[in-house]
Structure 1
């Protein structure tokens, strides 16, 4: 029993000492950072960027997480970085070395602080050299076990998939360029350098310094199931500007009932400075489709129509059903068969297209299976939650509700976040390379999360978003 108490005292003192006095301050490129360890069952790396938010990366499993706080930026060095005076190769080399040095310093300081605290605690409490020796041994064993867990679960590739939480305006700078998602995971120093550049660019922007643009991908904004929520279109306008997207893709259910009153609130789409691709949802009437088709920048895709935007070819068809109010009776399987027939007709149109189709647009996931194997990417919505699946070489992505399920939530419905995505395509191959999944908390809230997902992260099984 005495031995258990000794171990408990030593380990408790060691943990408290590491949390309280284990931090180190180091320069990582032009960024001055504070590195510390905190208790966290999920582990990971958390980069605090006051006052704009934080980045989280699933770099390892618990029991300790790495916390990095950006404290300052060397402005002369930042100017050299942003103007190109610092060669990229030098930045990659220097940042990689700085990170390794900082992590070594953190490990050494934390180890020393833990051992010293464990020894002192045992000496003060038990006043027995043997207790001190047992306590130090217990702390050493705990440190070794923790290090083994971190080493065994290390995922350096996680820095290519950051999750950003904070102010929406800073998301593009912090999530970084889409090419990071395609980086060889073994050569992650490149991403560390890019992250240092992104942080520097952010703070330089806040200091009114000139900024640069990576512009390495063709970006499209994808929304679905707005259901009359004007907040969604405000978000669209913001993202079109901040991400410099080439077009907006909308997979339907812009309205609830498809009435003339609802249609008129879509007039603001005409003010967007980019093309707007749209397919009809089951809540959108023929009148809604006609209204949108008359707007100068809207391209309605129906009955297998195709269009070229930003170097990509799209094909789409509207939902064959108009069901703004749930049918009281419906023959079993009738809806599924009708949706499947619409998908089959679109698949034939894709096959008959004189140019290869890159993206197919439908509203309901039940319309997508006939398209598997005919087109690289299918986008749909309807179910108000993010999903994905890969079948026969086709990636199918399902969007959540970009309107937070619409204004119906004001009438006792459950508040949902607004979910939109920025799709990154390789301009040379026209292939999807990454998706920024953006989630904005519902009415009255300001929380924003942006998660970068490389296309390789979407598995073959159905995923709930």
Structure 2
């Protein structure tokens, strides 16, 4: 018989580390800390109101600590507020535009405004700390109970989690620097922010600068009333008056001036050729609720800075008619056709030209076909609205009047019997003004139409200067003068 292999008896004196009492304590402690950390990072966020902002605060694992403010899609601000291992992240979810004015108009000094925001932020951080502690401890208890199913390891895990959270809180508190807010690091589009902050700082006080600008705007509007008080050679009293604006770019001052013009000229409708926003984000939408507050129809087409989400929001505003894909509407006795910009290019530096000329011309051609079809059906269109002048080419000779914007410079031309009016920037180019350090004038126009035929009779071009100039001008053009000026220029 072959020899029998010796059998090995298990060495019962060797034990696995986690089966000893000390091993179980260590494992429970590690599990509790890991569960607490995972829960805090995943479920420790809170929503808080800080001044006129709604922000989401949450804790993240960060060896360097610090505070990160996410202003997507503008970019990010990093502040070296405290040491790790936990960092604070804040994401701005909403800007309550209605409260911004009230916040400024309270007349707070910079110190008072800072105290109010700091108090809101302190309350938010306290709420965040309480939530993180509860979430972390519950996660530690739950994880240890699930694995060990004994009360002693559960107590050890919860205790270890509490100690770890306490140490992180002590480190953050001991290393916290209030002066870190003056040492921000910017990424994304916010790399332009230091120049903006410097410009505001030069005025001495940001809140007081806002208050002064509101005062200047009030003076500007009062001056605007004076300039418009006695216009000469008015068109017939029954003429239909339409306010033409474009490229507001988030500037609330535009709506103040528009309100004045609507009242003074007894405007029957407003036509907006787009670029109401800067980046087409939902956070910008509340800035434009004023569009439905004028008491007259508001016709709007999408610009290249307005996203599809912007357009979806405009559709929900009472009194606002969105024209796209060759849609035609009748407002104040005028048939208006329009289409949105086919491109969305809010940050052109980050995008590649993919044949925009063809896209723009194609959109204009599709609109021209819709205009011709309407005319063939016995419903001629009085004017067409697009955003970019490059969309207007196919409409020349098809419709009497084309309105557009985009270039932030007022101009006009007559081509094949079609008058094309290009508006400047009704919002002074909005945030784009910081690119050059100087705001553009706010430009708007009041168009006077014959009440019966819908023929353009005259145009009043209103120009309101930017900050520091504070001059208001009104220049009236008879409709026939555009063709005369074009002929005179061609003869020179």
TM score, norm. by length of structure 2: 0.51
1:414 to 433, 438, 442: 438
1:384 equivalent to 2:408? Answer: yes
Structure 2 stretches lacking a partner, 5+ long = 1-220
Aligned to 2:234: 178
Q: Which runs of 4+ in 1 moved over 4 A?
A: none
The DSSP-based 3-state class of the residue aligned with 1:253 is coil
Check conservation: 1:434, 1:452, Cα contact below 8 A: yes
Q: Larger Cα Rg: Structure 1 or Structure 2?
A: 2
Check conservation: 1:424, 1:432, Cα contact below 8 A: yes
Aligned to 1:447: 471
Counterpart Cα distance in 2 of 1:331 and 1:312: 36
Check conservation: 1:387, 1:399, Cα contact below 8 A: yes
Return the offset for 1:405: 0.8
Counterpart Cα distance in 2 of 1:370 and 1:249: 21
Show the 5 A alignment for 1:29-428: 167-179=223-235, 215-328=237-350, 330-331=352-353, 334-353=355-374, 354=377, 355-410=379-434, 413-428=437-452
The DSSP-based 3-state class of the residue aligned with 2:276 is coil
Structure 1 stretches lacking a partner, 5+ long = 1-164, 180-213
Check conservation: 2:244, 2:270, Cα contact below 8 A: yes
After superposition, what is the alpha-carbon deviation per residue over 1:187-220, rounded to whole angstroms, capped at 9, x for unaligned?
xxxxxxxxxxxxxxxxxxxxxxxxxxx6241100
The DSSP-based 3-state class of the residue aligned with 1:222 is strand
Aligned to 1:37: none
Return the offset for 1:245: 0.2
The DSSP-based 3-state class of the residue aligned with 1:265 is helix
Return the offset for 1:413: 2.9
After superposition, what is the alpha-carbon deviation per residue over 1:368-403, rounded to whole angstroms, capped at 9, x for unaligned?
010011100000000000111111111111000000
Counterpart Cα distance in 2 of 1:260 and 1:275: 23
Specify which structure has the higher proportion of helix.
Answer: 2
Counterpart Cα distance in 1 of 2:428 and 2:479: 25
Check conservation: 2:278, 2:431, Cα contact below 8 A: no
The DSSP-based 3-state class of the residue aligned with 2:390 is helix
After superposition, the Cα gap between the structure-2 partners of 1:335 and 1:327, relative to the gap in structure 1 and judged at 3 Å, is farther
After superposition, what is the alpha-carbon deviation per residue over 1:18-41, rounded to whole angstroms, capped at 9, x for unaligned?
xxxxxxxxxxxxxxxxxxxxxxxx
Return the offset for 1:349: 0.5
Check conservation: 2:247, 2:426, Cα contact below 8 A: yes
Return the offset for 1:408: 3.0
Check conservation: 1:387, 1:462, Cα contact below 8 A: no
Counterpart Cα distance in 2 of 1:166 and 1:279: 30
After superposition, what is the alpha-carbon deviation per residue over 1:396-445, rounded to whole angstroms, capped at 9, x for unaligned?
11000000111332465322110000000111221101100000011244
After superposition, the Cα gap between the structure-2 partners of 1:297 and 1:254, relative to the gap in structure 1 and judged at 3 Å, is same
Counterpart Cα distance in 2 of 1:462 and 1:356: 30
After superposition, the Cα gap between the structure-2 partners of 1:338 and 1:327, relative to the gap in structure 1 and judged at 3 Å, is farther
Name which structure has the greater RCO, CA cutoff 8 Å, separation 6+.
Answer: 1
Aligned to 1:12: none
Counterpart Cα distance in 2 of 1:295 and 1:444: 34
The DSSP-based 3-state class of the residue aligned with 1:402 is coil
The DSSP-based 3-state class of the residue aligned with 1:178 is coil
After superposition, what is the alpha-carbon deviation per residue over 1:312-349, rounded to whole angstroms, capped at 9, x for unaligned?
100000000000010556357x1111100000000000
TM score, norm. by length of structure 1: 0.54
After superposition, the Cα gap between the structure-2 partners of 1:335 and 1:383, relative to the gap in structure 1 and judged at 3 Å, is same
Return the offset for 1:170: 3.1
> How many equivalent residue pairs?
264
Check conservation: 1:178, 1:424, Cα contact below 8 A: no
Counterpart Cα distance in 2 of 1:227 and 1:461: 35
The DSSP-based 3-state class of the residue aligned with 2:257 is helix
The DSSP-based 3-state class of the residue aligned with 1:175 is coil
